[in-house]
Amino acid sequence: MKNALEYDEQNIFAKILRGDIPCGKIYEDEHALAFPDIRPQAPVHILVIPKGKYISAADFNARAPAEALTGFYRAVSEVARQAGVEQNGYRLICNTGPDSHQEVPHFHVHILAGGKLGRMLGPPL
Ligand code: AMP
């Protein structure tokens, strides 16, 4: 990641939002865009990103207007509903910052579902 305070216009999700590269869009509204993760970690693995330029959850939660926050988090639930995973359940993951292994410096939420996910994704430190 670049300087955490500086949004990288060349990050892969910025390119997807600009339409520079395809993403296989599965949901879009004024606040959010959702598409399958290119390296799925579960039978259902969807990424939901806000349309604004926010580096991380911390950045989004601190700077986004209330309407963008509400719209985005409602979109996450709507994507899960439309994906048909609401009844059996799903896991939301939001990696934030270097210790979390956040790779793409545009805020995103992972929706993981489609089978028993286990209690944790990795071994404890
Ligand atoms: P994170 O580690 O939380 O930053 O997650 C970034 C995710 O973006 C990873 O799970 C990648 O597989 C995924 N990813 C990277 N490039 C693309 C892409 N072009 N389309 C879809 N998913 C991508």
Domain map (residue ranges) of the chain:
4-113
Higher-confidence position of 1 and 120: 120
* HSE, side-chain direction, 13 A CA sphere, residue 12: 11
Q: How far is the CA of 70 from the centre of ligand 1 (A)?
A: 23
Q: Is the pLDDT of residue 3 over 60?
A: no
∠ CA(115), CA(38), CA(95), 5° rounding?
75
Task: State both tokens at 41.
Answer: 């970690």
In this prediction, residue 121 carries a pLDDT of: 64
Q: How far is the CA of 38 from the centre of ligand 1 (A)?
A: 6
**Mean pLDDT, residues 70-97 taken together:** 97
Whose structure tokens read 């439309």? 82
In this prediction, residue 1 carries a pLDDT of: 46
106 is catalytic: no
Q: Under CATH, what is the fold of the domain 4-113?
A: HIT family, subunit A (3.30.428)
Give, for ligand 1, the residue of 10, 47, 49, 94 to mutate: max count of ligand atoms closer than 8 Å to Cβ: 47
Per-residue pLDDT of 11-51, as tens digits, reads 999 999 999 999 999 999 999 999 999 999 999 999 999 99
In this prediction, residue 34 carries a pLDDT of: 98
